[in-house]
């Protein structure tokens, strides 16, 4: 007699998550239309209140995040900007002063005043200051010292170290190149051999790992692809394999997992979902490696990569209850949302269309990740936090704006799940900065 198969911990956890998500979707499907509309409404005021509280005061439980304070500033400020809001002048000045105290005299930003500079917190601090905007915020960044810091972090292999004598990984490459590019200090010396290192991290699955020989991961795949775009070497990646890996990370819940056979997590709404906003600029020809182009075949330098893309969405009117006409689709779908795919990467005649189920992802964010009292979270049963609030909202923005033909146009009602008031500000997907703040910084650092 064969022994019974024992359920693994991962299988038990997956079953629990599926039960929680199914319960929420069942509640949504059976409540009156008025309650459905409320469940799909982005609770803007509550989110802003939650975010502003965090920017002004954090409790003792945050002591373990002492080395991540620039990150907390970025998560909160970017989320506020996504919601179309801003902080008052006093709070803005206090934030700039605090981040200035985190800036090392020799360049880069530490996790707090007096802490050693680190590429991750440098990226967070720069993005936070750009999210604030304004001359005082942007001039507080010492670009000359920053360049020297980035040079010190450059490893002879071509990759970057996170800090002095620290680890080398794809995350370090992305944060270094992102900061250098947006500050207009990127040069050939900083770019040298980065592409070779990132290529060595693309795995047999198609995704990108943190370092050679490790497992493909959603966060590292975003970082690797974004870094390759920033240095204009994205065409060196095996993009069909990368696309295939990312597409199948969207699960039956509607959200994304970060790795194969892992649980859904709201933060991957951006780390995985944002990859599609980058990939939208690629198309494939049989027998040739995909190349970076825009919809009309024009040059696609980083400055032209906004959130624009071709869309197959029609100008449908909103339904009478203020929700998308796709709202009555089943909550489950085959192959991680591939039913929205409009072409294959091997389709010679077609350009790449949407490759994930954006409506299902929005449903997961709004119903399963949103705390009605303010803040967003990983999944049901998990607590809200600023990290997941930032990346859930970033993923929601990507869903709404990714397929627009014109960056100055508004999303079509059919692209937005729930009331049209759910629409967030568009982001520049390479940097994850609200688009108008990116444009302000780009102009400022180009002329200065």
The residues annotated as belonging to the active site are 217, 259, 262, 265, 267-268, 378, 385, 388
Buried b (16+ CB within 10 A) or exposed e, 216-229: bbbbbbbbbbbbbb
Q: Which two tokens stand for residue 307?
A: 């959130």
Q: Which two tokens stand for residue 43?
A: 């609770």
DSSP state of 340: G
Q: How many CB atoms lie within 10 A of CB 386?
A: 25
**Run of H or E including 350:** none
**SS3 label, residue 154:** strand
Q: Provide DSSP, 223-292.
A: HHHHHHHHTT-GGGS-HHHHHHHHHTTB-TTSSBBSSTT--B-TTHHHHTHHHHHHHTTEE--TTS--EE
**What HEC string does 293-313 produce?**
CCCCCCCCCHHHCCCECCCCC
């Amino acid at each position: 007699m064969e022994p019974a198969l024992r359920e693994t911990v991962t299988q038990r956890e997956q079953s629990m998550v599926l039960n929680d998500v199914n319960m929420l979707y069942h509640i949504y499907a059976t409540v009156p239309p008025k309650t459905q509309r409320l469940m799909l409404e982005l609770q803007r005021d509550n989110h802003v209140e939650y975010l502003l509280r965090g920017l002004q005061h954090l409790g003792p439980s945050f002591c373990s995040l002492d080395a991540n304070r620039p990150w907390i500033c970025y998560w909160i400020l970017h989320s506020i900007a996504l919601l179309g809001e801003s902080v008052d002048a006093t709070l803005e000045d206090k934030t700039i002063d605090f981040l200035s105290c985190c800036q090392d005299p020799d360049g880069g930003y530490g996790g707090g005043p007096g802490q050693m500079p680190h590429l991750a917190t440098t990226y967070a601090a720069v993005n936070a200051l750009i999210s604030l905007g304004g001359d005082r915020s942007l001039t507080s960044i010492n670009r000359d010292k920053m360049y020297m810091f980035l040079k010190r972090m450059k490893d002879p292999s071509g990759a970057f170290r996170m800090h002095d004598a620290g680890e080398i990984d794809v995350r370090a490459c992305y944060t270094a190149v992102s900061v250098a590019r947006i500050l207009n200090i990127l040069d050939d010396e900083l770019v040298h051999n980065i592409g070779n290192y990132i290529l060595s991290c693309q795995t047999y699955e198609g995704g990108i790992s943190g370092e050679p020989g490790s497992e493909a991961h959603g966060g590292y795949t975003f970082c690797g692809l974004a870094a390759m775009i920033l240095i204009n070497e994205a065409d060196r990646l095996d993009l069909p394999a990368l696309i295939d890996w990312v597409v199948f990370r969207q699960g039956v819940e509607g959200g994304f997992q970060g790795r194969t056979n892992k649980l859904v997590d709201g933060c991957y709404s951006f780390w995985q979902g944002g990859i599609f906003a980058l990939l939208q600029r690629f198309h494939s020809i049989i027998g040739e490696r995909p190349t970076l182009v825009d919809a009309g075949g024009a040059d696609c330098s980083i400055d032209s990569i906004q959130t624009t893309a071709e869309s197959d969405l029609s100008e449908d009117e909103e339904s009478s209850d203020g929700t998308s006409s796709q709202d009555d689709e089943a909550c489950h779908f085959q192959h991680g949302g591939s039913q929205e795919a409009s072409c294959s990467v091997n389709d010679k005649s077609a350009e790449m269309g949407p490759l994930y189920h954006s409506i299902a992802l929005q449903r997961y964010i709004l119903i399963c990740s949103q705390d009605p009292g303010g803040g967003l979270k990983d999944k049901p049963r998990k607590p809200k936090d600023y990290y997941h609030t930032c990346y859930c909202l970033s993923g929601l923005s990507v869903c709404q704006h990714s397929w627009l033909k014109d960056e100055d146009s508004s999303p079509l009602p059919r692209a937005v799940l729930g009331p049209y008031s759910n629409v967030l500000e568009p982001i520049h997907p390479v940097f994850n900065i609200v688009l108008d703040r990116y444009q302000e910084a780009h102009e400022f650092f180009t002329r200065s």
